[in-house]
Structure 1
Amino acid sequence: MKTATKMKTLASSLVVLGLTTASIQSQAVELSGDVTFASDYAFRGISQTEEAPALQGGLSLSDESGFYVSVWGSNVDFLAEGTLELDVMLGWSGDLSDDWSTDVGIMRYGYPNAAIDGSNFWEIYGSLSYKDLTFGLAYSDDYYANAGNYIYLYANYSYAIAENITLDLHVGQNEYDDSSASYLDWSVGVSTEIMGAGLSLAYVDTDIDGLYLADSRVIFSISKSF
């Protein structure tokens, strides 16, 4: 059985398990969401919007056991080969102790109007957090545009530098089957909340040479959760 088929089977199994658990335990279900405007949509250091603004939003349905189903969308610009990204996630998150927490799941990246072969793909993800430090991994057996096996290793750290102001640090390694395509991405930013809205300003960069979509830039975003 191909890995992609196994991933789809895993997703179906998790759905059944999550719904069964919620039904048996009669746990409360919560619907939440968010809307974000960003000056650029940078995914793992590379602009998905030709360095133009993005309007993004998501919805998540979760229960007290930690299972959740989420959808997330954004406008994109792949040189007329796609204008919409629509992702679906199924996972579980929860506290392991007072200081430790985890988040694991499976995700489908979808580009409904893209003409690029292999634009839709699956990814398994997981992260482990200790207080404000997070280590994570994502894996796809057939990454975007039929790129084959792909692994993403990353670390995030948030540090309160003042009341209601947080320093956000990120570094990630993108590993492809073709090692010449592998690259490092990183960002340094600050974030805060004003009148219920989240504000973020981040410097984003990669070690890719000769690709303007992966060069350094400053990205501003404003978001609202509900």
Structure 2
Amino acid sequence: MACGALIAAAASAPALNQASAADLAAPEVIDVTKSPIDVSFGVKLATEYNLRSVSQTKGHPAVQGYAEISFYDWAYAGVWASNVDFGGTDPSAEVDYYAGLRHTWDGLTLDGGFLYIDYVGEKSGLHELDFWKVYGSVKYAFNENLTIGANLYWTSDFIGYSKIDGTHSSLFGKYTLPPINGIPSDIGFYVSGEVGKQWVSKNFAPDYVFWNAGVGVTYKAMTVDLRYTDSDLSRRECNLFIGQRSSCGSRYMASISFDTSLSKIK
């Protein structure tokens, strides 16, 4: 069970928020402006921290936030944090540090970088879960309403175990509804979804498929998102994976977030 709880953290190995469909729910944070340097930031209150259809907070609420600096519409670096609640080393928070290159050519955006996951408050004397990933993503905006994309994350240091490879990849998409007569133009509606798979080498953790779909409303810097998520993990596999049977399986989630940047503040 202790090993299962450690593997649970593996499930939580965070993908950068901008790469998942759930986070596509949020307005685009990085805005290409005349200023060569911009800082974006935001905060989210969610019914739980759910990552690739596995709860990282035992189904309890999560408070999350981030800050990111971008340079010349090419380089960026940032930090993201959330409370967590799972067994094993029993950390109190997850803090992600990341940096990379990202650029947009018309509707095409390419992104690649490095991510380090730090679990804060782990019990001493146990195997530490901190580890790193490299990632890449591509997305294409067919028009101002429809965007689709794909991502890939890989590490050879899965939850701090060297020579254990961990890989996850997904396809995601978002459709923003056209303006609706009678509704103010600064209120928007969208639908979005994601389907993906995670693989871990040497049978260290079960491979599984995950998916989510949701709808949302945006108003200026605020986004309200309602989402359904599930996976093909059995309850037995979930218990091995994260140390508790109830952290996987179908569930509905809700969140409210606020995202903006210095360039958008008048």
TM-score, scaled relative to structure 1: 0.83
What does 1:97-116 correspond to in 2, within 5 Å?
Answer: 97-115=105-123
How much has 1:194 moved relative to structure 2?
2.7
CA distance in 1, matches of 2:218, 2:201: 41
Amino acid at match of 1:41: Y
CA distance in 2, matches of 1:114, 1:125: 26
CA distance in 1, matches of 2:246, 2:161: 22
CA distance in 2, matches of 1:30, 1:162: 29
Residue 120 of structure 2: SS of its match in structure 1?
Answer: coil
Match of 2:43 in 1: 35
How much has 1:162 moved relative to structure 2?
5.0
- Relative to structure 1, the CA distance from residue 162 to residue 204 in structure 2 (aligned partners, 3 Å threshold; closer, same or farther) is farther
Match of 1:221 in 2: 255
Matched, 1:158 2:174: yes
Equivalent of 2:199 in 171, 175, 182 = 175
* Deviation readout 1:164-220 (Å, 9 max, x if unpaired): 211111011001114461011100101221353111000011110113211111110
Equivalent of 1:67 in 59, 66, 75 = 75
Equivalent of 1:121 in 121, 124, 131 = 131
CA distance in 1, matches of 2:224, 2:200: 33
Match of 2:97 in 1: 88
Residue 247 of structure 2: SS of its match in structure 1?
Answer: helix
CA distance in 1, matches of 2:47, 2:36: 37
Match of 1:55 in 2: 63
Higher relative contact order, structure no. (Cα contacts within 8 Å, ≥ 6 residues apart): 2
Amino acid at match of 2:174: S
CA distance in 2, matches of 1:178, 1:172: 20
Return structure 1 stretches of 4+ with deviation > 6 angstroms: none
- Relative to structure 1, the CA distance from residue 29 to residue 162 in structure 2 (aligned partners, 3 Å threshold; closer, same or farther) is closer
Match of 1:141 in 2: 156
How much has 1:224 moved relative to structure 2?
0.4
Residue 181 of structure 1: SS of its match in structure 2?
Answer: coil
Amino acid at match of 2:65: G
CA distance in 2, matches of 1:112, 1:82: 6
Deviating more after overlay: 126-135 vs 73-82: 73-82
CA distance in 2, matches of 1:192, 1:143: 36
Structure 1, unaligned runs of 5 or more: 1-26
CA distance in 1, matches of 2:118, 2:130: 5
* Deviation readout 1:83-139 (Å, 9 max, x if unpaired): 1101100111111x3221111100001102123524100000100112101111000
Equivalenced residues, count? 199
CA distance in 1, matches of 2:221, 2:135: 29
Higher strand share: 1
Amino acid at match of 1:184: V
Structure 2, unaligned runs of 5 or more: 1-34, 142-146, 180-187, 236-244, 261-266
Matched, 1:190 2:200: no
Contact 2:166 2:199 in 1 (8 A): yes
TM-score, scaled relative to structure 2: 0.71
Equivalent of 1:130 in 140, 143, 150 = 140
Q: CA RMSD in A?
A: 1.7
How many percent of aligned residue pairs carry the same amino acid? 26
CA distance in 2, matches of 1:172, 1:197: 27
